[in-house]
Structure 1
Amino acid sequence: MTDIAALESYAGELSEAAQRSQAASVKQHQYIHNDAMTDVVTEAGFVPSLAKQARLHAEAIPNAVAELSGQMADGRVHDSEAAGRALMANGQQFYARSSDPKISRTLWQRIDATVSTHILDEASPAFVQGIVPSLGLTPLEVYDWIDTVVDVMVDADGNVRVLSSQDPGQDPVSYAATANVASSAYPPIKSAALLDAGILAVSEFTSSLYPDYIEVMTDEDGNLRVLQVVGAGKDMTNYALSAFPPAEFVVPTGYYVWLIPNQSNEDGRGNNAESPALPVGMGYMWKDGALLPLADPVNTTTNTGSAWPAFAQRFYELTGFGSVFVPAAVGGTPQTAGAALTSFGATNHWDVGGTLRVTALSRVQATFAALDGAGIMWQMGGLLGGGGERDAQNIDNPAGSTGSITAADYKTAVQGMLAYFQSGLQRTKLPFIMRRLAMDGTGDTTGFQQIRAAQMDLCANVPNIYMGWTGGLAAVKAGRVKADTYDLHFLQQDLNDMGRCMASVAAYVCLGRA
């Protein structure tokens, strides 16, 4: 009986489904075949038949044409604004030719018999086709910022010009090429348009079509300033800012403390004139036994620049926190004891038994005391460094060193140094954010290759060690090194890039922000 009852129930359900299908078939037939005056009654309401929809569209077209004609009286391009205005009614829009060869036509709207309002200029095809992509960018290219699309181009004068921007679900907003004329060979460019498009104070545009990259920001005056441009297969070009940070800078309520160990590229041998100038309160440094406002030179060498002002700037942008730096790097000092130069002293290294780590730890502790004395809220951030130059040179040629080392020795020494500071500062998860080794004037030798591979292996497999910047090798290969006897010191533009990149990693490591 149970099986029979189930079959009867199932048969009933099939019957109901068949009835619904038949009813839907009738509605579909009415929708397709009824006349131009009929609406079909459905569960969702009245739906006009296909014939009625066609009739309604046909009736609407003349009205739409009339409305468009009311706004654009004709499709002509008039010889001049005055000529077009004379033929229009108030409120109507019209095109007129321009005497500027860069403009194909200008859209105007008549206000009255004597006045028209300028709407926009359209760039001439000849002007667009004549654009010189002097920075390695394709002349017309789309750069995406989250879901906002911005069209930019590089004109024959090397100016980046914004053509249009579009928010998700919104109509594109066009901007005339002439509206974005820069006063110099490269931006600032007026960019209220980008602000309207929802682009924030610091924005990055990456091409979805080409491997090109442009990083820009808007200052407090609404000007778009280009920070850097990288073309496919080309070196990065950086541009300094004259008005950074914006006026709305707020002194942080808390600071992260960063220890700087290792060698001269951590110490910095750049140009302090090209290092970002920061507002008081964005960062501090422990120098000459005192807590001072952050500014290059962070080290004791006169008129040199480092990565750390740019780091502090970017870290503040991403997190709202300030940075305090404890510089302890010493040029020519290795990570490993065996690579120490005899002329420097057998203990002048960062390995077990070396004096550098002991000095660095005491400086960090003195910085903590100074911050407490000044009433500044702080927490330990981590180590920022990497070094490896002296170790790589030892692998290639151990002459003049206290011993000889391998890449495995380097990895052991890095982990030992981190463990030393984790224990001494009582922070078991203290991170080490590294910059990858480059090379020196002798070329990309076996030693440099092995140390770079060791660094990447450490970052991939050892907890609390992260890779923060890998751009050094490309910089040195491109010849961007300081003119000295070493041929391995980064120029300021790459130190600034190093600082920004390491700050992005630090923001993620410390706060999950990037």
Structure 2
Amino acid sequence: MKTILLLLTMSLGYVLPAVAQTKALFVVAGQSNAVGQGNAEQSVRVTGALEYRYQSDSLVALRDPVGENALEFQAANTGSAWPAFAQRYQELTGQQVILVAAARGGSSAHQKAELNELGTWAAEGHKPLLANALEKIHRAEAKVGTPIQGIIWIQGERDANAIFDQQLTAEAYEGALEGLIGRFRNGLGAVVPFYLVLTGNQQGREPIGNTAVRQAQRNVARRLTQVFVVYEQAEHFAKKHWMKDFVHYNQQALNDIGKTVAERIVTLNN
């Protein structure tokens, strides 16, 4: 019957209306590995996905380097996890991914871990970032006409260093992470899902702080509703030769993060 209807409408010169593709608006936030320090030449090429740009209040094709240097946030240098995320999510759901990039290299979760002007996600500091992220998200939601479906969080190395240097306790970091999730949700007026990529290790120093950060992230995910660990393999990247340098992930690692996070989010939502 559908085939007959299609042939009939074509013969009469009519065009059937296209089925609207649903949109999936995601935020990616955190520090340098959320920004992306990979290689755009090795990044996944994705079709149909978009990125919201604050400076021009526009939607552009999602491709690396993802992000923009605005509102204290940064563009990828030069590859990120997000084209791989968008490609896999679209494959699995048929939804169009629209991304809001809000990450800054070196930013901390706790104010005590903030370095100079690198920024913090805490309520106070030299360069608080949360208000800027909320501003960008609200503008993106208005542009797209749909609320965000989740925040993907990659952060923790700065706080891990502060724990290692005994400037911060693991308990304080855990409280800061829980607090920033609450402030994000208060600012958005909804219990938005929060997806955690567990922090990796840093080559050249004992992983005392990094291990403490990962445990804190797991604790928060167990305690808070709609907070999930969606990637746990970053601590093994050095053995896989997936590190760009002592702290940053290479493009192979970023592509794996993007793909795996998409698969995990889809599984959680089914």
Superposition TM-score tier, normalisation by shorter sequence? 0.7 to 0.9
Number of the residue aligned with 1:492 = 251
1:312 to 86, 108, 113: 86
Q: CA offset at residue 493 of structure 1?
A: 0.9
Q: What is the match of residue 187 of structure 2?
A: 424
Which residue number corresponds to residue 106 of structure 1? none
In structure 2, relative to structure 1, the CA distance for the partners of 1:302 and 1:268 (3 Å cut) is closer
In the alignment, which residue of structure 2 is the partner of 1:443? Answer: 205
CA displacement, residues 134-185 of structure 1 (integer Å, 9 cap, x when unaligned): xxxxxxxxxxxxxxxxxxxxxxxxxxxxxxxxxxxxxxxxxxxxxxxxxxxx
SS at match of 1:440: coil
1:255 paired residue number: 23
Matches of 1:303 and 1:461, distance apart in 2: 35
* Structure 1 unaligned regions, length at least 5: 1-249, 373-377, 399-403
Q: How many residues align?
A: 244
Query: Does residue 1:265 correspond to 2:37, yes or no?
Result: no
- In structure 2, the CA distance between the partners of 1:395 and 1:384, relative to structure 1 (3 Å rule), is same
**1:350 paired to 2:121:** yes
Structure number with the bigger relative contact order (C-alpha 8 A, sep ≥ 6) is 2
In structure 2, C-alpha distance between the alignment counterparts of 1:295 and 1:497, rounded to whole Å = 16
In structure 1, what is the Cα distance between the partners aligned to 2:28 and 2:219? 21
Shift of 1:471: 1.6
TM-score normalised to structure 1 length: 0.45
Q: Is the 8 A contact 1:275 1:296 kept in 2?
A: yes
1:327 is matched with 101
Find the aligned partners of 2:50 and 2:260 in 1 and give their Cα distance: 17
Per the TM alignment, residue 252 of structure 1 is displaced from its structure 2 partner at its CA by 6.5
Q: Percent identity?
A: 30
Q: Structure 2: which 5+ runs fail to align?
A: 1-17, 69-74
Amino acid at match of 1:392: A
Q: 2:134 aligns with which of 361, 366, 376?
A: 361
Question: Whose radius of gyration is greater, 1 or 2?
Answer: 1
After TM superposition, the score normalised by the length of structure 2 is: 0.84
- Seen in structure 2, the aligned counterparts of structure 1 residues 412 and 255 have a Cα distance that, compared at 3 Å, is same
Task: State the distance in 1 between where 2:239 and 2:186 align.
Answer: 38
Contact map agreement 1:476 1:488 (CA 8 A) in 2: no
Quote the Cα distance in structure 2 between the aligned partners of 1:389 and 1:360.
20
Post-superposition Cα deviations, 1:223-251, rounded to whole Å, max 9, x if no partner, equal xxxxxxxxxxxxxxxxxxxxxxxxxxx99
Match in the other structure for 1:457 = 219
Tell me, in whole angstroms, the C-alpha distance in 1 between the residues paired with 2:67 and 2:232: 23
SS at match of 2:103: coil
Alpha-carbon distance, 1:303 to partner: 5.5
RMSD, aligned CA:
2.0
Mapping 1:13-162, distance limit 5 Å:
none
Residues 1:388 and 2:156 aligned together: yes
Q: Would you tell me which structure has more helix in proportion to its own residues? A: 2
The residue number in structure 1 matching 2:64 is: 296
1:405 matches 2:178: no
Asked if 1:414 corresponds to 2:182, the answer is: no
| CA contact 1:272–1:297 (8 Å) conserved in 2 | yes
Bigger strand share: 1
1:481 aligned partner: 243
